[in-house]
Amino acid sequence: MVKLVRHKMFTPIRSFFKDSRATGVLLIVCTILSLLFSNLGGTSAAYVGFWHARFFTPSGIIHMPNSPLMLINEVLMSFFFFLVGIEIKRELKVGELASVRKSMLPVLAALGGMIFPAIIFTIFNGSTPFHHGWGIPMATDIAFSLGILSLLGRKIPVQLKIFLMALAIIDDLGAVVTIAIFYSNQLNFPFLIGAATALVSIIMLNVVKVRRLAWYILPAILLWYCIFNSGINATIAGVILAFCMPLSKMNKLEQILHAPVNFFIMPLFALANTAIVLTSATGHFFTSTISLGIILGLVFGKPLGIFLFSFLAAKSGIATLPSQTSFKQLFGIGMLGGIGFTMSIFTATLAYQMMDLQVISKIAIIAGSVISGSLGYLYLTRLRTVPAMHVVKSISDSPVYEDESIFGLAALNEPALI
């Protein structure tokens, strides 16, 4: 009897955490809870203060993340980007992005998804003192966009998830370049040189076919540390590392990291980054040109730019659509591309020094992201889709078929690739 009760209690929980939609549900729940805790009188100060509390005072010699928020955004999220980088590299090697024409589609889609929102923001703010925020609606948030897409489960072909992931990665790389050029006060070139040195050492280990992962740990840590101190967002180190390490040894590590990333790191990320206090400045939200530029840039600029550039690229023969997908589905992915969040919020803190302008920007980012995510989800649920099944050819050309993993992507038995 006791065993039966335990089975009934824990089986639904196990099923939930095995479901690819669990990640999306957790992100949404954590975001709602964080906004509530941030604005309830009894918990607001303590809750928001916790994420910004300093572990230590940075010294001139060693500079490390010194608050829970920085620890999550700069360190833990690097593991998320590492997993994403592995998936992208696999697809570039043997999957949907293996040909030049297929890989060009997310590149051009990301370019359109950056240009259109920036133009829309500039239309509303180009002649105002707020014009410097044009980079805010440019970025697509990987964690939240994939989380929302995972809610659709097997209704969405895995090729679309790979496309969105590749688009978001390229989009974030574009945002990093934009921040480095237009929003960074200064880049630390000695640390950039250190990062380049660490990167070269990782590449050399791969070239000489070093397969023991222990050899990669020290240069990987050095790479992250140098990028963190160079003035560039440190999470990009995760993508760089994944691209430079051998895929043949990544499968086991990937399986180990999937659950912690999905059910620990990403929920923490959502809790920490939505700890936003709604101040008196919120009253100006509905009349601010900043709000209009950000919301319209995310809700309309993103899908229009992504779809138009994808459509033109496919029709002109420059690129091809992912297999088992259509232009209608691509438009829905463009809607989800309007989920800004992480890089958008980060850019807002750099674009505006006044706290009131930052608050208005963050609220607009959340509002635009919620609208984009809701529209994209509702739109895609109404499309007829093919059950997600992914085919990967190994060196022997024997196909490997796998269903979706908990990450929302294919967990594949990979061939021995570098």
Give Cβ neighbours of residue 336 (< 8 Å, ≥ 6 apart): 140, 145, 148, 149, 164, 372, 373, 376, 377, 380
pLDDT beyond 60 at 3: no
Mean per-residue pLDDT, 245-272: 85
Q: How far apart are the first and last CA of the chain?
A: 53
Strand segments (E) across 50-107? none
pLDDT tens profile 287-300: 889 999 999 999 99
pLDDT beyond 80 at 184: no
Instruction: Give percent of the chain above pLDDT 70.
Output: 83
The per-residue pLDDT for 415 is 37
- CA dihedral over 290, 135, 86, 336, signed as positive or negative: positive
Candidates 293, 282, 292; CA nearest to 357 is 282
The per-residue pLDDT for 23 is 78
Q: Predicted confidence band at 43 (pLDDT cuts at 50, 70, 90)?
A: confident
Most confident of the following: 188-197, 207-216, 381-390: 188-197
The per-residue pLDDT for 211 is 81
Q: Predicted confidence band at 11 (pLDDT cuts at 50, 70, 90)?
A: low
Task: Report which secondary-structure segment, H or E, holds 367.
Answer: helix 355-381
Task: Report which secondary-structure segment, H or E, holds 401.
Answer: strand 399-402
Candidates 304, 302, 306, 293; CA nearest to 364 is 293
Tokens of 47: 């809750």
DSSP letter at 58? P
Rounded Cα distance between 61 and 337, Å, is 40
pLDDT beyond 50 at 397: no
Tokens of 392: 């990967």
Higher pLDDT, 228 or 20: 228
Angle 173-273-258 from CA coordinates, rounded to 5°? 65
Q: How many helices and strands (H and E) does the chain possess?
A: 18, 2
Angle 31-36-41 from CA coordinates, rounded to 5°? 150
The per-residue pLDDT for 60 is 62
Rounded Cα distance between 219 and 195, Å, is 9
Q: Predicted confidence band at 93 (pLDDT cuts at 50, 70, 90)?
A: confident
Rounded Cα distance between 234 and 140, Å, is 17
Rounded Cα distance between 337 and 331, Å, is 10
Rounded Cα distance between 298 and 120, Å, is 9
The per-residue pLDDT for 51 is 93
The per-residue pLDDT for 49 is 92
Question: How far is CA 9 from each of CA 17, 20, 173, 187, 406, rounded to the nearest angstrom?
Answer: 14, 20, 44, 53, 21
Candidates 368, 369, 407, 377; CA nearest to 390 is 407
Higher pLDDT, 45 or 9: 45
Tokens of 369: 């992201």
With tokens 């993508």, the residue in question is: 239
pLDDT beyond 70 at 20: no
Place domain 22-53+74-184+232-389 in its CATH homologous superfamily.
Na+/H+ antiporter like domain (1.20.1530.10)
Tokens of 142: 């990987």
pLDDT beyond 50 at 418: no
The per-residue pLDDT for 396 is 32
Rounded Cα distance between 418 and 416, Å, is 7
Helix (H, G, I), strand (E, B) or coil at 232: coil
Confirm if 102 and 94 have CB atoms less than 8 A apart. no
Rounded Cα distance between 97 and 307, Å, is 18
Q: Predicted confidence band at 232 (pLDDT cuts at 50, 70, 90)?
A: confident
pLDDT tens profile 310-324: 999 999 989 888 878
Q: Predicted confidence band at 4 (pLDDT cuts at 50, 70, 90)?
A: low
The per-residue pLDDT for 412 is 35
333 burial via Cβ count (<10 Å: 0-12, 13-18, 19+): buried
Confirm if 301 and 120 have CB atoms less than 8 A apart. yes
The per-residue pLDDT for 15 is 62
The per-residue pLDDT for 295 is 96
